[in-house]
């Protein structure tokens, strides 16, 4: 379990004394629960976790009906003019620190805080990536993707002029290069003093005993169950997977797809499945059913063309489930699964066949659970946030957490 507020003070010799009163954080996140997605989930987790390690939190968001734990206050602002409204709100309430959770820099909304807009307020930006994995902007023939590629590059450079003025910029992982996390590479080049790397963290969802997911949704108990939890989208590749499965009727396993909403991609996936008894296409399940599904599955998988740090895989690892995934985002740094060398049917089928072996699943599942406990669990991650936030509040933010 995470340390509670009474034990939150770090070593004074390392960070200096923290204020006697409870430090106040303004958490700014355009998206927030009950909206569903990685950015929203991270914002909700921060709103719940920061009070538990000793901070008072006020949330500013555009999400109608936003809700947080009883330990955080929530203020909802109109999306129109959101950056300016939030900057004015910050000057009104004078928090000890402003914590901005992703998207503002690549969502076309602008950024509300810089050295002039928030005088005396340290600003920490939690990046979820600026979509500068340039490979996703490349299309065949190659020149079709050039305008998107150039716009992405220009946006990354422009954003970096904002980031260099902040107290701290926190990325999800430090695997850098032209085709992966170019925004991290740019920041490392231009202003390494305020760049940190901390992964997302969520409480384990492992249940003490299996629920009734298989019975409730008609998934046979006698064959391995491979689970995909992701919003239905061309970027997530659900239809691509179903096409592969239909070409390989010899694969004796169940494949379950779960998405937060029913949309055109979901309907296309249903048509492609065409009644194949191995395939279940589900949407709009309650959170309890999704948790039950992850605990019930034998392996997790994603076939995405773009991810940053997939929440679903972290949740599966917390339950000791093996996984396989395309080579995207921070996935190659994770353990307990198989990273596909190429995003095609041959490598997909090869991974499935490897994980049909129960001994291999058990081996990888244990490896993933150990990795999650050591690197991504709240006990591993939130002491790092504690030190970083206290340093930022004290004006002594430093590189290298």
Q: Hey, which of 105-109, 184-188, 230-234 has the most confident mean pLDDT?
A: 230-234
* 360-383 tens-digit pLDDT: 999 999 999 999 999 999 999 999
* Of residues 139, 129, 135, 137, the one with CA closest to residue 163: 129
Q: How many CB atoms lie within 10 A of CB 252?
A: 10
Structure tokens of 269?
């996936």
* 260-280 tens-digit pLDDT: 899 999 999 999 999 999 999
pTM for the predicted model, two decimal places? 0.85
CA dihedral 73, 79, 84, 88 (to 10 degrees): -30
Beta bridge partners, 58, equal: 26, 73
* 213-223 tens-digit pLDDT: 999 999 998 89
Beta bridge partners, 257, equal: 228, 281
DSSP 53: T
For the chain, domains (ranges, CATH) are: 5-201+377-393 (3.40.50.2000), 213-376 (3.40.50.2000)
């Amino acid at each position: 379990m995470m340390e509670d507020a009474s034990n939150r003070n770090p070593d004074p010799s390392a960070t200096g004394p923290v204020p006697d009163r409870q430090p106040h954080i303004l958490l700014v996140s355009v998206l927030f629960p009950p909206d569903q997605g990685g950015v929203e989930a991270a914002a909700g987790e921060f709103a719940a976790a920061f009070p538990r390690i000793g901070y008072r939190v006020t949330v500013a968001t555009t999400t109608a009906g936003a809700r947080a734990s009883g330990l955080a206050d929530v203020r909802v602002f109109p999306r129109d003019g959101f950056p300016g409204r939030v900057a004015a709100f910050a000057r009104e309430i004078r928090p000890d620190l402003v914590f901005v959770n992703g998207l503002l820099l690549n969502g076309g909304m602008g950024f509300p805080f810089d050295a002039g807009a928030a005088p005396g307020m340290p600003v920490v930006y939690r990046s979820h990536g600026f979509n500068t994995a340039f490979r996703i902007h490349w299309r065949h023939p190659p020149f079709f993707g050039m305008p998107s590629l150039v716009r992405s590059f220009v946006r990354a450079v422009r954003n970096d002029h904002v980031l260099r003025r902040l107290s701290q910029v926190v990325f999800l992982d430090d695997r850098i290069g032209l085709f992966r996390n170019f925004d991290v590479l740019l920041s490392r080049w231009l202003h390494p003093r305020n760049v940190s790397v901390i992964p997302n963290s969520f409480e384990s969802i492992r249940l003490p005993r299996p629920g009734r997911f298989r019975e409730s949704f008609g998934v046979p108990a006698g064959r391995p169950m491979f689970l995909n939890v992701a919003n239905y989208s061309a970027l997530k590749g659900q239809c691509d997977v179903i096409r592969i499965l239909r070409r390989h009727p010899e694969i004796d396993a169940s494949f379950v797809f779960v998405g937060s909403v029913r949309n055109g991609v979901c309907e296309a996936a249903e048509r492609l499945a065409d009644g194949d008894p191995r395939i279940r296409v589900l949407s709009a399940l309650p959170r309890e059913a999704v948790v039950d599904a992850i605990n019930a599955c034998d392996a997790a998988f994603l076939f995405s063309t773009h991810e940053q740090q997939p929440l679903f895989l972290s949740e599966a690892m917390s339950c000791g489930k093996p996984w396989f995934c395309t080579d995207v985002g921070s996935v190659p740094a994770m353990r307990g699964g198989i990273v596909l060398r190429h995003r095609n049917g041959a490598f997909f089928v090869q991974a499935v066949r490897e994980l049909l072996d129960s001994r291999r699943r058990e081996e990888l599942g244990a490896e993933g659970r150990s990795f999650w406990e050591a690197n991504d669990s709240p006990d591993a991650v939130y002491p790092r946030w504690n030190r970083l936030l206290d340093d930022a509040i004290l004006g002594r933010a430093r590189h290298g957490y």
